[in-house]
A and B are shown apart, each in its own frame.
Chain A
Amino acid sequence: MSLVCVFGTSLLLFCIGLIGILTRRNIIIVLLSIELMLTACNISFVAGSRLVSNIDGEIIVLFTIAISAAEAALGLSLAILWARLTGTTDIDSISLLRG
């Protein structure tokens, strides 16, 4: 399996995540899409690490996984709070930062 394939997969995954964020309206799905994008990043990190035979990339991936777990937990809890508060999980209902 060539590295191109791995990077291609990562890019594909990232784009799927991006399109997910842009098009889906459910908060949970948006969060899932973000996870997808993070995973895409992780894949390219590992691949890159292998490419330059340096372990740094893999270390960063470990950090990212930890942080993304925390982020997912925080994101989900916020989503649940918002759902309880307003009864909806529609992301367009949150526009409090409108100027």
Chain B
Amino acid sequence: MECLSHPALVLLFPLTGILWNTFFGFKFKKYAGYIASGMIFLSFLISTILFFHHSQSNVVWTKDLYTWIRVGNLDISISFLIDPLSIVMLLVVTSVSLVVHIYSIGYMKEDEGFVRFFIYLNLFVLSMLLLVSANNFLMMFIGWECVGLCSYLLIGFWYKERAPVFAGKKAFIVNRIGDFGFLCGIILIFLNFGVLDFITVSQHVNNINPVIITVICFLLFLGCIGKSAQIPLYIWLPDAMEGPTPVSALIHAATMVTAGVYLVARCNFLFGLSPCAMNLVAITGVLTAFFSATIAITNTDMKRILAYSTISQLGYMFFACGIGAYSAGIFHLATHAFFKGLLFLAAGSVMHSLSGELNIFKMGNLSKYTPYTFWTFIIAGLAISGFPGLSGFFSKDKILISAFSSGKYLLWLSGLFTAYITAFYIFRMIMLIFFTTERFDREKRQHTHESPYIMTIPLIILALLSIIAGYIPIPEYLSRVLPEPSFVLPSSTKHLLELLSVVVCLAGIVTAFLIYQKNIISSSRIKQKFLKLYTLLFNKYYVDEFYDELIVKPVNRFSLEFKNKIDDLLIDGLFVNGSGLVIKLTGLLTNLMQTGYIRHYVLFILAGMIIILVIIL
């Protein structure tokens, strides 16, 4: 047991998977998926062992592997930090990854890039595990950037098409903007603390000027905004849906995008000292939660709805962290990983049965054809809506209660309203996919079928996890390392708030039911009535267009102008070739004297002699 509880082992298995599949995977194509999944299973096993081993000893472990960089006082090791926070993350990451890996064996079976897909997936898991088990900022940054790389590679997995490649590039560049902030934050931490490992930094945090702490927090949060797709950098995530669906489930819903939340929770000792940064986190979170939820209402693309929903739920998590309820945030992170992963995988199953259809208005009545998918989708939908008894209810409620008790009523209210919208758009989607009338083509109907077991069993596993995750005392476990908000509410208020959440959730579901199933409220009439609002939402607040006009095009134009005017014309043209030209012209002028006639030369000599004589005399 002792030797099995080294955190490096968790990383070793995905690494083995990558190496095996890189060098031998193309020879043993059939087994690539099983090997990759098996490696993740072993990682999961080691994480579980770590959990049990650690919960007995109940201290924070650090394990050094080797010194990575040492220049003067800059001393950075590859070393691991094992505490409840990282263990929760390790377990969530490995379990969801395992399920997604197994699912992918079925989903990607026909794809020509089967082996490549599993190499990327394993690489992703490796990077993500590196991120969550890192003992210092810089090592975390390795994982942080590498998950971004995997995201880039996997979004652009179908590289022959234009859109995925473009989306991948967009994701990477937007992420890089965040990473820029993170990197600057790391360097500032090093300059002020002299070290980069979490424990030492947390011990010395009180000796540092609070203004600097706030600056550091802002920079770190810029990294979170980029990675976790918050306002204003969320634009990459909806486009990221161009990638294969298992990727959307694993990377763009369950794990990678939550890295920002993890970072804020991990750096609670920094954020805790800066009320300003905390407020920023909370407000950004709520705003993102609200706005992206509203965008999801009108969208017709199944995966994009889920993407906006992910952004919105991530907003919730930041909201929780921003009001100091870190454990609630991480709790929501864990439950969200299960039910949102499930939603995506189920959506993938829907696509699978409808040969890739994404428009929810071209589906309908699928519950008849795909029972497993249907039931698991319903469970996940109920969970994300906060239906009582399911995991989402517990975590979301905890956030809302913390918000209420912290006295930020406005934020709480918008959180509550977002919960209503969430329930509504999720059930709008469910109604349109699984109920109502069949709207897909006749020829597709013959192919419509339930997915194979290798895809449905992962769905069932995740459905079970979505149900039971709420009963696991994750917040209590996390409270060993994460600070808890100090305010306590009387239990009667608490119950009242819980009741309110239930009502809100049911109201959302009922609204969707009335509009889309019963047609009691006509959706088209609402559309007509609020046409302006509808177009605004349908066009996602024109944010993409806005960025395009405000940033992308000016940068492009500026670069072109700079290249043409400054570099080519001014520097190269005027200075470099210009000076060459001057010399050339001088040569041409003096050339005029070389007539070739001896008489002229003699005359020049004579003139020269006379001039010399004049000067001498």
Complex: A in contact with B (CB within 8 Å): yes
Across the interface, do B594 and A99 meet the contact criterion of CB distance under 8 Å? yes
- Contacts A18-B606, A22-B603 known; A30 to B594 CB distance under 8 Å? no
Across the interface, do A95 and B597 meet the contact criterion of CB distance under 8 Å? yes
Across the interface, do B594 and A91 meet the contact criterion of CB distance under 8 Å? no
- Give Cα A36 to B188, complex, Å: 90
- Give Cα A98 to B594, complex, Å: 5
Across the interface, do B595 and A94 meet the contact criterion of CB distance under 8 Å? no
- Looking at the assembled complex, report how far the CB atom of A34 sits from the nearest CB atom of chain B, in whole angstroms: 10
Count the B residues whose beta carbon is within 8 Å of the partner chain — how many? 12
- Give Cα A22 to B604, complex, Å: 11
Q: Mark B592-606, 1 if CB is under 8 A from A, else 0.
A: 111111110011001
Of all chain B residues, which has the CB nearest A97? B596
Interface residues of A in 79-98 (CB under 8 A from B): 91-92, 94-98
Across the interface, do A98 and B606 meet the contact criterion of CB distance under 8 Å? no
B591 interface contact, C-beta 8 A: yes
Of all chain B residues, which has the CB nearest A23? B599
Q: In this complex, which of B592, B596, B603 has the most chain A Cβ atoms within 10 angstroms of its Cβ?
A: B596
A47 interface contact, C-beta 8 A: no
A29 interface contact, C-beta 8 A: no
Across the interface, do A95 and B595 meet the contact criterion of CB distance under 8 Å? yes
A-side contacts of B594, CB under 8 Å: 97-99
Q: Mark A13-48, 1 if CB is under 8 A from B, else 0.
A: 000001001100000001000000000000000000
Across the interface, do B596 and A98 meet the contact criterion of CB distance under 8 Å? yes
B-side contacts of A21, CB under 8 Å: 598-599, 602
A-side contacts of B602, CB under 8 Å: 18, 21-22
- Looking at the assembled complex, report how far the CB atom of B226 sits from the nearest CB atom of chain A, in whole angstroms: 65
- Give Cα A18 to B597, complex, Å: 15
- Give Cα A99 to B595, complex, Å: 7
Of all chain B residues, which has the CB nearest A24? B599
Across the interface, do A98 and B598 meet the contact criterion of CB distance under 8 Å? no
Q: Mark B569-607, 1 if CB is under 8 A from A, else 0.
A: 000000000000000000000011111111100110010
- Looking at the assembled complex, report how far the CB atom of B588 sits from the nearest CB atom of chain A, in whole angstroms: 9
Across the interface, do B598 and A99 meet the contact criterion of CB distance under 8 Å? no
- Give Cα A22 to B597, complex, Å: 10
Q: Mark B491-535, 1 if CB is under 8 A from A, else 0.
A: 000000000000000000000000000000000000000000000
Of all chain A residues, which has the CB nearest B590? A99
- Give Cα A41 to B597, complex, Å: 24
Across the interface, do B595 and A30 meet the contact criterion of CB distance under 8 Å? no
- Give Cα A35 to B208, complex, Å: 98
B-side contacts of A96, CB under 8 Å: 596
A-side contacts of B606, CB under 8 Å: 18, 22
Across the interface, do B599 and A98 meet the contact criterion of CB distance under 8 Å? no
- Looking at the assembled complex, report how far the CB atom of B1 sits from the nearest CB atom of chain A, in whole angstroms: 93
B-side contacts of A95, CB under 8 Å: 595-597
Contact for A30 among B596, B598, B603, CB less than 8 A = B598
B-side contacts of A18, CB under 8 Å: 602, 606
Across the interface, do A22 and B596 meet the contact criterion of CB distance under 8 Å? no
Lowest 5 CB-CB distances: which A-B pairs, in order?
Answer: A95-B596, A99-B594, A98-B596, A99-B591, A97-B596
Q: List 10 A-B contacts (CB under 8 A).
A: A30-B598, A91-B598, A91-B599, A92-B597, A94-B598, A97-B594, A98-B594, A98-B596, A99-B591, A99-B592
**Interface residues of A, Cβ cutoff 8 Å to B:** 18, 21-22, 30, 91-92, 94-99
